[in-house]
Structure 1
Amino acid sequence: MPACEGVHAEGHGARARCLPEPWMCRVFHVDGSLRDIRALDVTRAEWIAVLERLRAVADETEVEHPYPRLDPVRPGVAELFRAWADEPEGEGTSFAFRVRFGAVWFFALPFDEEEIEFSLVPDDVVDAAGVTAVLRFLAEVAGASGRRTVLTAETVRYDAGLPTLLSHDPAAGLTSSV
C-alpha cells in the first residue's frame, strides 16, 4: 500500500503526496532541506557532456548567466565553462543550469569544476512518477559523466562518510537505495 501524506496546499495545490514504497518516503522526506546529486572527480569535459546530455533528454532546461558575449537564452555549454573558468569576466561568478524531468526540477550553480552537483527540492517528489524522474536523472548524469553518481542530504561539501540515499553505478548499470 502506498505511503500517502496529506495535501500540501502551498507547494502542490490539491496534489496529495503519495510515494509507493517506504524507502521513497525516507529518501524524499520533506524536512526543509534539499537533496544533492553529485558525481565526483570529474573533468570539464565530463561536466560539459552531462549538461549537453541533459539538454538533449530533459523535458525542459534553462540557463542564466552573467556573460554579455554569450547567447542569453541558449549559450553553448563549452562557452559557458570557458567564460566561467578561464576568462576574466567569469572571475567570482557562476551560472545557473536548471533541468526538468516530469514535474521535478534539478538545478546546478557550478562552483567547482571537479564536482558535478545538482540539487532538488524533495517536496517536488510527490508520487512514483517523481521518483522515476529522479532515478532517470541520476542515471543520465552517471551515464554522461561515466562516474558513480550519488544522492545525499544537502551538504556544503561532499564527504565519503555521509549517508548515500541513492546511487547509480554506470559501469554496472545498477541503482541502489538506502
Structure 2
Amino acid sequence: MSNCEDVHAGEHGARARCLPEPWMCRVFHIDGSLRDIRVPDVTRAEWIAVLERLRAVADETEAEHPYPRLDPVRPPVADLFRAWADEPEGEGTSFAFRARFGAVWFFALPYDEEEIEFSVRPDDVVDGAGVAAVLRFLTEVAEASGRQALLTGETVRYDTGLPTLIAHDPTTGLTSRL
C-alpha cells in the first residue's frame, strides 16, 4: 500500500506526497503552518556551535545580515551574534541563516539568544528523502548544541506543554517520535 496521502501545489507545481510511514503524514501534515526545530535554554556559544556545524555539514548555507562592517557573503558566526546582541548597530535588527539538506531548507531568524529555533515548511517534505533530511538536521542541531532538539508545530516561544513531534537526544543518541 502506498503512503501517498495527498497532492498539493508547491512552489514547483503539483507533487504527490509519498512519505515512508503513515505517522509521518501526521507530523508533516500541510496545514498552513511551519514546523519548528527548537533547542530551549541555550547559550550564545551553543548557538554559534550549531551554526558553525551546519556550515560544515549542510549541502548549502546562506546568511543575510544588515551589518555593514561584516562580510556580506560568509560572515563569521561569532561576529553575527556580537553585532546583533552586543553592538549598537545590531539594536532592533537580526540576521537570517538558512541551511539546505537535500531538497529541504531550514531557516532561522534569531530573535532570542536563549533559544535555538529553525523552521521548515512541511510541504517541502514530500518523500522519504525529505524526512531523512529533517531527521539529519534535527540530529546535527542536537549533537552540535549538546542538548535535546525538538521538532514541534510552529510556535512563538517554546511551551513545555506543546506537543513534541520528534526529538533527538545527543546523550543517548536516540531519535524518537512522541
| TM-score greater than 0.5 by the shorter chain | yes
One-letter amino acid matched to 2:30? V
Cα distance between partner residues in 2 of 1:99 and 1:40 = 20
Q: Is the 8 A contact 1:64 1:97 kept in 2?
A: yes
How far apart are 1:11 and its partner, in Å? 3.0
Which is worse superposed, 82-91 or 16-25? 16-25
The equivalent of 1:145 in structure 2 is 145
CA distance in 1 between counterparts of 2:13 and 2:115 reads 35
The corresponding residue for 2:29 is 29
Matched to 2:91, the amino acid is E
| Residue in 2 that maps onto 1:53 | 53
Deviation, 1:22, is: 1.0
The alignment of Structure 1 onto Structure 2 pairs a total of residues equal to 178
CA contact (8 A) 1:3 1:22 kept: yes
Amino acid at match of 2:146: G
Q: Aligned partners of 2:111 and 2:41: how far apart in 1?
A: 14
CA distance in 2, matches of 1:99, 1:90: 22
Question: Where in structure 1 are there 5+ consecutive unaligned residues?
Answer: none
Alignment partners' CA distance in 1, 2:140 and 2:79: 22
Q: What is the identity percentage for the equivalent residue pairs of Structure 1 and Structure 2?
A: 83
Counterpart residue number, 1:77:
77
Offset, 1:20: 1.4
Q: Which residue of 2 aligns with 1:121?
A: 121
Offset from partner CA, 1:102-140 (integer Å, 9 cap, x none): 011000000111100000000000000000000000000
Q: Is the 8 A contact 2:5 2:25 kept in 1?
A: no
For residues 161 and 6 of structure 2, the distance between their equivalents in structure 1, rounded to whole angstroms, comes to 34
- Please report how far the alpha carbon of residue 7 of structure 1 lies from its aligned counterpart in structure 2 after TM superposition: 3.5
Tell me, in whole angstroms, the C-alpha distance in 2 between the residues paired with 1:11 and 1:21.
Answer: 24
Q: TM-score, normalising length from structure 2?
A: 0.97
Equivalent-residue separation in structure 1 for 2:129 and 2:77 (angstroms): 29
Contact 1:2 1:21 in 2 (8 A): no
1:50-109 CA deviation, whole Å, 9 max, x = no partner? 000000000000110000000001000000000000000000000000010001100000
The one-letter amino acid of 2:98's match is: R
| Partner Cα distance (1:10, 1:153) in 2 | 20
Gaps of 5+ in 2: none
Q: Secondary structure at the match of 2:11?
A: helix
| Separation in 2, partners of 1:71, 1:119 | 25
Is 1:96 aligned to 2:81, yes or no?
no
Residues 23, 177 of structure 1: 8 Å contact kept: no
